[in-house]
Structure 1
Amino acid sequence: MKNKKISKILIGTNNPGKLREIANLLPKKVKVFSTKDFNLKSPNETGKTFKSNALIKAKYFSKKTNLICLSDDSGLEIDVLKKKPGIYSARWGGKKSDFNKAMQRVYKELDKKDKEWKKKKVSARFICALVIYWPNRKKIYSLGKVSGKISKTKKGKNGFGYDPIFIPNGHKRTFAEMRKSYKYKIDHRAKAFKKIKRFF
């Protein structure tokens, strides 16, 4: 049976940066709803993986609104920090998910691990798990990754989250220094979305 294309969707996030980026990936003809339209708070993310946390959000928001929901869980893994912050990426910014605090913590943890880290390549990757959840409980998963390194200093004003300290492989600039329209084409979210594009 041919999949019926999705014509309206709820983007299951309360993060304005993610909302903007996911909405930009969707075809223009798709009607987009946000959690703000329904005044919904986010559920507790109790999963142990990006995929399970994305599912918790997609299922929760879909049940609350009876809409098809697309949710994302994403974060930064730094190899020398044993892949931390990982699924706790937002939580490193404290209760308010302040990413300036989170980035300071990354630098603090790297200093603790190795005072000379700025002279070395600190390999890292961004990971994004996307889940589409239908009210009839059908669900689709997708994973996207982009590898790179940690910048020695914060650079750039574009983007959100850890974008100012992440330089993707093959580039000299951080995600936050890139034009948003360019970053949206090459990042982990774009890679994950390519795999589920056919549903729209």
Structure 2
Amino acid sequence: MKKIINLLIGTNNKGKLREIRALLPKNIKSFSVSSFKLKSPIENGKTFEENSLIKAKYFSKKTKLLCLADDSGLEIDILNKAPGIYSARWGGKNSDFSKAIKKVYRELDKKDKNWKNKKIKARFICALSICFFDKKIACVKGKVEGTISLKPLGKNGFGYDPIFIPRGKKVTFGEMPFLKKFKIDHRYQAFKKIRKFL
């Protein structure tokens, strides 16, 4: 495969865009879908991988560029792995994550009044796909295990970062400096696997 020079990053999420750009090799010129004024496609896949492929193919066809797309979310074991692929949708129409985080705590209270005395196991999952038009070039998955914090902590990161404590750490992703978080998180784990395609 010839070297990739131009790559579209298939996300309208500024946090994801920043993180993916920071992980990309320096020789790749990256474009964002916002510069093409593209809305995201309907994600009707049943898995993170399916949804990341839907996005990568859709944005590639619209722009005629090779596209790298991410689908990621939080799985909480006690909630039967919810919110999972519906992570952004828990925030309502505008993906308001303060709403989504409140919903996580509401669901935990419903499930187990004593959840705060237990370690609530959770993981962040990220699927990354590269497509050119309808052709799948790569699709990989990365994850990071951890637990849910008793309350949101930290203003860094985005999404559910303020309530996720990665295994072996004492602080949430929301409390970690960007450079520290993006070297251990689920997107980085997926990126290690997809790097050989770049």
TM superposition score normalised by structure 2: 0.98
Map 1:103-118 onto structure 2 (within 5 A): 103-118=101-116
**Do structure 1's residue 133 and structure 2's residue 131 form an aligned pair?**
yes
Taking the aligned partners of 2:85 and 2:20, their CA distance within structure 1 comes to: 19
Moved over 4 A (4+): none
Unpaired runs of at least 5, structure 2: none
For the residue of structure 2 that corresponds to 1:185, the secondary structure is coil
Q: How many residues align?
A: 198
Residue by residue over 1:169-188, the C-alpha shift from the partner in whole angstroms, topping out at 9 and shown as x without a partner, is: 00000001111011111000
Corresponding position of 2:159: 161
Taking the aligned partners of 2:73 and 2:16, their CA distance within structure 1 comes to: 12
**1:136 Cα deviation after fit:** 6.6
TM superposition score normalised by structure 1: 0.97
Residue by residue over 1:13-70, the C-alpha shift from the partner in whole angstroms, topping out at 9 and shown as x without a partner, is: 0011111111111012210100011110000000010000000000000000000000
Do the aligned partners of 1:124 and 1:148 also contact (CA within 8 Å) in 2? yes
Unpaired runs of at least 5, structure 1: none
Do the aligned partners of 1:158 and 1:176 also contact (CA within 8 Å) in 2? yes
Q: Which amino acid letter does the alignment assign opposite residue 40 of structure 1?
A: L
Taking the aligned partners of 2:121 and 2:3, their CA distance within structure 1 comes to: 39
* Percent identity of equivalent pairs: 67
**Do structure 1's residue 188 and structure 2's residue 189 form an aligned pair?**
no
Q: Which amino acid letter does the alignment assign opposite residue 71 of structure 1?
A: A
Taking the aligned partners of 2:19 and 2:10, their CA distance within structure 1 comes to: 12
Taking the aligned partners of 2:95 and 2:79, their CA distance within structure 1 comes to: 20
Deviation larger for 76-85 or 20-29: 20-29
For the residue of structure 2 that corresponds to 1:195, the secondary structure is helix
Corresponding position of 1:50: 48
Do the aligned partners of 2:128 and 2:139 also contact (CA within 8 Å) in 1? yes
Do the aligned partners of 1:53 and 1:73 also contact (CA within 8 Å) in 2? yes
146, 149, 168: which one aligns with 1:148? 146
For the residue of structure 2 that corresponds to 1:75, the secondary structure is strand
Residue by residue over 1:79-120, the C-alpha shift from the partner in whole angstroms, topping out at 9 and shown as x without a partner, is: 000000000000000000000000000000000111110110
Do the aligned partners of 2:11 and 2:33 also contact (CA within 8 Å) in 1? yes
Corresponding position of 1:76: 74
